[in-house]
Structure 1
Amino acid sequence: MRQFEELCEGCIATVVSRTTPVDACRLSLVSNTFRSAAESDAVWNQFLPSDSQFMDSIISNSPSLANVPSKKSLYLALSDRPIIIDNGLKSFQLDRKSGKICYMLAARSLSIAWVDDERYWKWIPMHNSRFSQVAKLHIVCWFDIHGMISMRDLSPNTQYAAYLVFKLINASGFRNPDSPVEISVGVEGGHRSTKTVYLDPNVEDRSHSGEVGLRQPSVRNDGWLEIEIGEFFNSGLEDEEVQMNVKETNDYTSKMGLFVEGIEVRPK
């Protein structure tokens, strides 16, 4: 380590920039020389998305970011909270540990069967949602929610997972253990991974003894529920569309009380 410290600060910065944000923070504790190198703009610029036009568009959606004192400060700001973009239809954020790109597609950007008929769905504001409106299920017998995102918008060479982000408030029709919800994810025109889950965390799973029970949602740090829809790998070699689907079309029991914030895509 002493021989490594004898390198010039620029060389150390080059090496550190080939690691990860977590490693850079750890290496900054080694010595003053390492700290200066590990906190330099040269290092943290490597952890930010490389498309300058894209970064300019992100900063334009949050003017306070234009005044951050360093690239590290910009990175931390982008990983600390989501930035609303695309006229409120999407949020952007960096994964704090890896610097990989994360998106949430707002409910307004999803294709939801009958969403424009107020007999079935309504658009309402919710105080703890990052978006101005969420979709509230008034009453339907079955539902179908579909989202799509382009691989080119995501970090290459990265394993991703998609999650439905929702709430159940005074809900009914989701506790039938014999009628789980079907979820799937896959590249458009290619293989789709399909499985079944329960949206209600309180449903009693009736899986046969010895079998793995169906997946149920977990509570997020922001208070919403999420359920994993599926995984996919972005090789970065082709411009493909990833399709994500959540539906229940077999049980014609009336369903209500589902609030959809969106579908989040983040590194697995």
Structure 2
Amino acid sequence: MSQEKISSPHWTAHTSDHEINEQNNEICISAKALNIIWGNDNRYWQWTSLPHNEINFSVGAELLQVNWIEVTGKLDFSRFKSTGEHEIVYLLKFKVDAFGWHSSPIKFKVMTSDGKETVHAEILEHYRKVSDNWHEIRGGKFMVPSGHHGAVHFGMYETESEWWKGSMILGGVKIRPTKAP
């Protein structure tokens, strides 16, 4: 009897250096460096090539359809060049046939190692109406401490409704200072 590795239906972040790039005092984290529930099941999500002239990432996660969105990430403060307030921005594109974004708000959460947490919810329908454009959707703010100890945990969620959503591409996440250095 052979023992085969059982594959999880969930995508686990690949946090190798080529997936996290620092440019213009921003930390850019590709979709492959994030955890995506159902992201390893091609009935719900697929990896798609992205044109280099559109976005800093070569591969994005295309949401085909789900009724449970949970995309999370973590970044150690030691990766940051500067201290102070930073923001997380999700890079999303909605395809022409995108659906389900009009009734269920997406929650964006940010939590730091010291237990400080911010949560806000947003209906993404107005972004969907401008299809095939990349949108920078704010995911929240947090403080990087002077000692650079700890980490920031972040995520986008819609786990409370049974409303199906689809035809959205997640390019990745940018983390940047809220004020120029």
Please, what TM-score do these two structures have when normalized by structure 2? 0.80
Residues 257/152 of structure 1: CA separation in 2 closer, same or farther (3 Å cut): same
Identify the match of residue 21 of structure 2 among 80, 85, 91: 91
Identify the match of residue 173 of structure 1 among 100, 111, 119: 100
C-alpha displacement of 1:190: 1.1
8 Å Cα contact 1:141/1:252 also seen in 2: yes
C-alpha displacement of 1:189: 5.8
Which position in structure 2 is the counterpart of 1:125?
49
1:116 aligned counterpart, secondary structure: coil
Q: Which digits, 9 at most, give the CA deviation of each residue in 1:232-264, with x for residues without a partner? A: 111221421101110001121111111000111
Aligned residues: 159
Verify: 1:228 aligned to 2:138, yes or no.
Answer: yes
Which position in structure 2 is the counterpart of 1:34?
none
Which position in structure 2 is the counterpart of 1:148?
74
Q: Which has the higher contact order (CA 8 A, sep 6+)?
A: 2
1:201 aligned counterpart, secondary structure: helix
Which structure has greater helix proportion? 1
8 Å Cα contact 1:143/1:247 also seen in 2: yes
Residues 115/148 of structure 1: CA separation in 2 closer, same or farther (3 Å cut): same
Residues 183/156 of structure 1: CA separation in 2 closer, same or farther (3 Å cut): same
1:108 aligned counterpart, secondary structure: helix
Alignment partners' CA distance in 2, 1:199 and 1:188? 29
Which position in structure 2 is the counterpart of 1:105?
29
Alignment partners' CA distance in 1, 2:145 and 2:113? 15
C-alpha displacement of 1:193: 0.7
2:78 aligned counterpart, secondary structure: helix
Question: Following superposition of structure 1 onto structure 2, how do residues 10-21 of structure 1 map, counting pairs within 5 Å?
Answer: none
**Structure 2: tracts of 5 or more residues without a match:** 1-15
Residues 109/180 of structure 1: CA separation in 2 closer, same or farther (3 Å cut): same
Alignment partners' CA distance in 1, 2:89 and 2:127? 19
Q: Which digits, 9 at most, give the CA deviation of each residue in 1:204-245, with x for residues without a partner? A: xxxxxxxxxxxxxx99xxx41011111111122142110111
Alignment partners' CA distance in 2, 1:156 and 1:266? 9
Amino acid aligned to 1:186: M
Which position in structure 2 is the counterpart of 1:257?
167
Q: Percent of aligned pairs with the same residue?
A: 24
Which position in structure 1 is the counterpart of 2:154?
244
Aligned-residue CA RMSD (Å): 2.2
C-alpha displacement of 1:157: 2.8
8 Å Cα contact 2:35/2:73 also seen in 1: yes
1:250 aligned counterpart, secondary structure: coil
8 Å Cα contact 2:127/2:135 also seen in 1: no
2:32 aligned counterpart, secondary structure: helix
Residues 158/189 of structure 1: CA separation in 2 closer, same or farther (3 Å cut): closer
Superposition misfits of 4+ residues, deviation over 3 angstroms: none
**Structure 1: tracts of 5 or more residues without a match:** 1-84, 95-100, 204-217
C-alpha displacement of 1:133: 1.0
